[in-house]
Each structure stands twice: as C-alpha cells, then as structure tokens.
C-alpha cells in the first residue's frame, strides 16, 4: 500500500502535490503532541521566541511539502524534474572546483527540496550519495531506484559505503551527503548546533580531509505556487581546517548559515538533539 501511495503521489502535478503537502504537514502537527513540542522547541532554540512565533505556521506546511515531493523527485524522469530547477546561483563555484581537478564534496542540509540537488548535478557528471534505508522497508526498492539512475550511485551508511565515497573523491568524482542526521553511537561527536549540543556526524568532516577535495554547500529553495526550485551552491564561508572535530563544528556553523537563509523550509520536526544508543551523554550546558 505504501508503495502504491508513493507512486500515486509521483503522478500528481508538483503544485497540487505541494498543496497536499501543506495539508499533510498540518495533519501530522495536529495528531502528534510530541511532534508539535519538538518542532516549536527546535525553532525557538535556533531562532529565538519572536522569530519562531513568526514562521512556525509556514514551517508546518513546508515540512509537509518536503515529505510529499520526495515521491515526485525520485519517481519522475530526471530530465523532467530538473526542468523545475528554474534558477541556479553559484554554479561558477562548481566549475571552479572541477577546474581544480579534485573531487567535490556536496554538503546539503534537510532544507528545501534537498533530494533535487544531487539529481541536478548527476545530469552533468557522476555523483555518489550516502543513503540510509527508509524506515518502511517496502519503500526501499522504489526509493533506491530513484536514487540510483543515470550518473547517480549509492553508498550505504556503513564501512563499505565510506570506502566507496573516499574512492569516488580520490577519482575526482562528486559525493553528496546530508550531515544533519543523527549518526549511530560512536560515529559522531557532541558539537554545537544552534547553541545546543547535537550528536553530529563526523563523516562529512573526514571526507573534507581527502587530499584535493573541494567542499561545496548546496540547497534548493522551494519557490511558491509550485513554480519550481532555486538551486544554490557556495563554498564554505570560512575555510574548513583543523582536526576532524574542528571541521565538523565548522560544518555545523555553515549549515546554520544556510538554514537562516530560509528557516521556514528546514526540517524542524526532526529529533536533532536526541542521544543515540551507544553515544556518551551530552555535555552539560550553562
């Protein structure tokens, strides 16, 4: 049933799908007290009371759009979905990175239509993306098919996948990942994220240490009325250097800057500050 619903959603026009996404977002918000508390608390933590109060309603709808448009991005033909990228800013940074000759590490938070960034680049050159299996196993073949087509390749979130990512970067290819997911115990470090310790994936930082790698931050802003997406690329605002933990902390700061560009389109309902099994306790905050 879940697979059939996914395919049905993919067949809808993007504008209609996004309007349904707003309804889905509000339905989730209405039915889950835990989700409501987490979304409002995360917004306040990051943006302060006044700004959170100003945008939380819009955020509820944008999160719903983000969830439903996943089917549209993954199951529609690539050349069709990329026509909805109606504006691109910063492509010169991608061209400069290619001219440098090293691999490209694309870092994308759960902001806007995060799935479309790798799809768009894959029409240009090969890209390998890190993935975790979906919670609903029945959706895994459908989602994997959407992420493994043309120049897109998958690397599982395990040791073999990490080796695959490093190999791709050393070969001068591109790698894409979302570093704002809570990693498993032993795979991260407690680092600040919007002023609160968050158990943070260190893999992106480790990949940024690969010789010759060019790190680019990317995200796709969702335009109103189903008009499409504005894809943005930029290098780090400050150089990524130091040890792995210093780089991971710097990546968190870069993500914060991206999210502040359009905070209503971030996935605030995600339990970003949870302690995964096997992780040490979060450090005390003053």
In a domain, 255, yes or no: yes
Query: Residue 3: pLDDT above 80?
Result: no
Give the integer Cα–Cα distance in Å for 189 and 282. Answer: 9
In a domain, 24, yes or no: no
Position 214 scores a pLDDT of 97
In a domain, 38, yes or no: no
Q: What is the pLDDT of residues 216-239, one digit of tens each?
A: 999 999 999 999 999 999 999 999
Q: What is the pLDDT of residues 4-24, one digit of tens each?
A: 888 899 999 999 999 999 999
More confident residue, 78 or 260: 260
**pLDDT, mean of residues 244-266:** 98
Q: Which domain holds residue 157?
A: 79-265
Position 90 scores a pLDDT of 98
Q: What is the CA radius of gyration of the chain?
A: 18
Give the integer Cα–Cα distance in Å for 196 and 194. Answer: 6
Q: What is the pLDDT of residues 63-79, one digit of tens each?
A: 999 999 999 999 999 88
In a domain, 5, yes or no: no
3-state secondary structure of 86: strand
Q: What is the pTM of this model?
A: 0.94
Contact predicate 269/27, CB 8 Å: no
**pLDDT, mean of residues 77-90:** 93
In a domain, 196, yes or no: yes
Percent of the chain with pLDDT over 90: 80
**pLDDT, mean of residues 129-134:** 81
How many domains does the chain fold into?
A: 1
In a domain, 63, yes or no: no
Q: Indicate the pLDDT class of residue 281, thresholds 50, 70 and 90.
A: very high
Position 178 scores a pLDDT of 95
Q: Where are the alpha helices (DSSP H) in the chain?
A: 2-10, 14-31, 33-47, 49-75, 78-81, 91-100, 115-122, 140-147, 159-170, 203-208, 244-261
Position 150 scores a pLDDT of 83
Position 140 scores a pLDDT of 75
Query: Residue 188: pLDDT above 80?
Result: yes
Position 271 scores a pLDDT of 96
Query: Residue 266: pLDDT above 80?
Result: yes
Q: What is the pLDDT of residues 30-53, one digit of tens each?
A: 999 999 999 999 999 999 999 999
In a domain, 100, yes or no: yes
């Amino acid at each position: 049933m879940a697979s059939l619903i996914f395919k049905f959603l993919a067949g809808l026009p993007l504008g209609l799908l996004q309007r349904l996404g707003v309804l889905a977002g509000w339905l989730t918000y209405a039915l889950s007290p835990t989700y409501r508390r987490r979304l409002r608390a995360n917004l306040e933590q990051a943006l302060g009371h006044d700004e959170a109060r100003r945008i939380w309603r819009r955020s509820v709808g944008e999160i719903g759009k983000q969830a439903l448009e996943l089917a549209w991005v993954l199951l529609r033909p690539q050349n069709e979905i990329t026509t909805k990228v109606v504006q691109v800013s910063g492509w010169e940074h991608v061209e400069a990175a290619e001219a440098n000759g090293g691999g490209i590490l694309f870092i994308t938070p759960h902001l806007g239509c995060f799935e479309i960034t790798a799809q768009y680049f894959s029409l240009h050159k090969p890209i390998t993306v890190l993935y975790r299996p979906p919670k609903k196993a029945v959706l895994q073949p459908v989602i994997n098919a959407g992420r493994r087509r043309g120049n897109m390749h998958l690397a599982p979130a395990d040791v073999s996948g990490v080796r695959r990512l490093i190999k791709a970067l050393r070969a001068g290819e591109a790698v894409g990942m979302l570093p704002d997911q809570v990693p498993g115990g032993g795979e991260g470090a407690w680092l600040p994220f919007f002023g609160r310790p968050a158990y943070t994936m260190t893999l992106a930082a480790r990949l940024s240490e690969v010789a010759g790698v060019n790190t680019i931050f990317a995200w796709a802003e969702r335009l109103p009325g189903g008009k499409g997406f504005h894809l943005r690329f930029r290098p780090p605002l400050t150089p990524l250097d130091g040890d792995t933990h210093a780089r991971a902390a710097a990546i968190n700061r870069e993500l914060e800057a991206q999210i502040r560009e359009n905070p209503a389109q971030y996935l605030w309902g995600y339990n970003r500050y949870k302690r995964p099994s096997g992780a040490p306790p979060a450090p005390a905050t003053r």
